[in-house]
Structure formats: structure tokens, C-alpha cells
């Protein structure tokens, strides 16, 4: 039986992926090329360094470790300007309602993210009271598909991973959750997320009771 829910952040709770894309696109323009819109899906769940590698590869750009650090910093600075403008209108459809529902039912909730900005954005949106535990890439060095962030979240909740339901929007995230031993639901287009137990178009379509009573 599921006793807790562990949410991924980007693309599950908050609609940040278009903002990640716009800011990576800005970096690509600075480097002299146009970023392909399909890149957004390759970046889902990937760490900042991995996402930068995807961008540089697409532009055929060679960069030294120092340059890479500079580019990642530049992108994150632009991303931070965008965070300042973020409001609860940026929440994914159904996210707030689901958090409310879980709170009413006293189901423990955690957040497990590959982003270093996830906790900061949750606090910026004043949503932290919904979470018993929030772990992001500042806390856990190994990012998805490594299971570390899910294992640490379950441990923090005091539950075995098998009792936790992960909600993910990326193949990398689903792999991390499953490798940790969690059950996993995918949110988004089905063809990408086949490894999940069930896939829903959006959180609005998810009937959480179904999982809580099994
Ligand atoms: C993941 C996103 O959650 O976090 C990726 O899906 C992003 O697209 C990664 O690159 C790192 O995010 P940040 O906020 O630390 O740059
Ligand atoms: Mg995600």
C-alpha cells in the first residue's frame, strides 16, 4: 500500500521546462546557434551540467571546464530573473489541488529533484508547508537516473521506497524512482514514459485514491 507521495519538481509541480528552454536558447544564441525545440525533452530530468552538454553538443561547441562553468552560471543567472517573475500561475494543472488533497488525507509528501533551484522556487511560491521533505541537487550529488534522491527521500520520510509513489515527467526520473524501488506514475505523453506503472496526461487526470487504497 502507498503511504507517501514523492513529487519530481520540474514539469510535474511547476511548469518550468519552457523557462529552462528559453534560457538555454538564450545561451545558444550567445554561442551563435539556434536551439532546436525538441531539445526540451532531452533535458527533462537531466542535471544542469548534463543539460549544458546537450546544448553544446547540438551547437558543435567545444568548451573547457572553465567555459562550461561560465556558461552554466550565465544560464542560471537568466533563469533566476525568470524565477523572480514566477507565481502560482506557473504550477502544473492539478498540482495545487493534489497537494491540498494529500494534505487533507494526512499523506506525507516529499519533493525529489535534479535541479538546484527546486527548493528555492517552492519557497518563492510559499508552498513549503505541503512537504515533509524536500531534496534537490544541492543535497544529493548523484542526479537522476541515479536512485539516490528517491532513496534519501524515502529514508527521510521513514518509509521503505516500495511504500512511496513517485510522480515523474521524464524517462530519467522514472528510471531513478524504479531503481530506488518506488512505484512510479508518469505525467505527459505516453510514448516517452512507458516504464511507469501508469501514465496520465496531467495531474488533473490522476485519481490518487486508487493508489492509496491498493
Ligand atoms: C531538472 C530539469 O529537474 O533539473 C532539467 O528537468 C534541469 O531540465 C535540471 O536542467 C537542473 O536544473 P537547475 O535548476 O539546477 O539548472
Ligand atoms: Mg521533471
Pick the ligand that lies closest to the CA of residue 80.
1
Question: What would the pLDDT profile of 6-31 be if each residue is shown by its tens digit?
Answer: 999 999 999 999 999 999 999 999 99
* 143 pLDDT higher than 90: yes
Ligand 1 centroid – CA 161 distance (Å): 23
pLDDT score for 214:
52
Partners of 166 in the beta sheet? Answer: 6, 184
Averaged pLDDT, 66-80: 98
pLDDT score for 125:
98
- Segment holding 189, helix H or strand E: none
Contact criterion met (CB below 8 Å) for 16 and 10: yes
Probe target for ligand 1 pocket from 81, 114, 173, with the most ligand atoms within 8 Å of CB: 114
Contact criterion met (CB below 8 Å) for 196 and 38: no
Pick the ligand that lies closest to the CA of residue 49.
1
pLDDT score for 213:
67
Averaged pLDDT, 90-109: 97
Q: Please state whether the predicted TM-score (pTM) of the whole model is above 0.95.
A: yes
Question: What would the pLDDT profile of 190-212 be if each residue is shown by its tens digit?
Answer: 888 999 999 999 999 999 999 99
- CA-136 nearest atom, ligand 1: 15
Ligand 2 centroid – CA 202 distance (Å): 13
Residue 9: how many other CB atoms lie within 10 Å: 22
* 76 pLDDT higher than 80: yes
Mean of all residue pLDDT scores within the chain: 96
- Give the residue whose CA is nearest to atom 4 of ligand 1: 115
Amino acid at each position: 500500500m502507498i503511504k507517501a507521495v514523492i513529487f519530481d519538481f520540474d514539469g510535474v509541480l511547476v511548469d518550468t521546462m519552457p523557462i529552462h528552454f528559453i534560457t538555454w536558447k538564450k545561451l545558444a544564441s550567445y554561442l551563435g546557434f539556434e536551439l532546436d525545440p525538441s531539445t526540451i525533452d532531452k533535458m527533462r530530468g537531466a542535471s544542469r551540467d548534463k543539460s549544458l552538454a546537450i546544448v553544446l553538443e547540438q551547437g558543435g561547441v567545444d568548451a573547457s571546464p572553465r567555459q562550461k562553468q561560465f556558461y552554466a552560471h550565465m544560464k542560471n543567472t537568466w533563469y533566476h530573473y525568470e524565477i523572480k517573475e514566477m507565481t502560482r500561475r506557473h504550477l502544473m494543472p492539478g498540482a495545487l489541488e493534489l497537494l491540498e488533497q494529500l494534505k487533507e488525507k494526512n499523506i506525507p509528501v516529499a519533493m525529489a529533484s535534479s535541479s538546484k533551484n527546486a527548493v528555492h522556487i517552492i519557497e518563492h511560491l510559499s508552498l513549503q508547508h505541503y512537504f515533509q521533505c524536500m531534496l534537490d541537487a544541492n543535497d544529493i550529488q548523484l542526479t537522476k537516473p541515479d536512485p539516490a534522491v528517491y532513496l534519501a527521500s524515502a529514508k527521510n520520510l521513514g518509509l521503505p521506497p516500495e511504500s512511496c509513489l513517485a510522480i515523474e515527467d521524464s524517462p530519467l526520473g522514472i528510471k531513478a524512482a524504479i531503481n530506488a524501488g518506488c512505484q512510479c506514475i508518469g505525467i505527459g505523453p505516453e510514448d516517452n514514459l512507458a516504464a511507469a506503472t501508469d501514465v496520465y496526461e496531467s495531474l488533473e487526470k490522476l485519481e490518487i485514491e486508487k493508489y492509496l487504497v491498493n
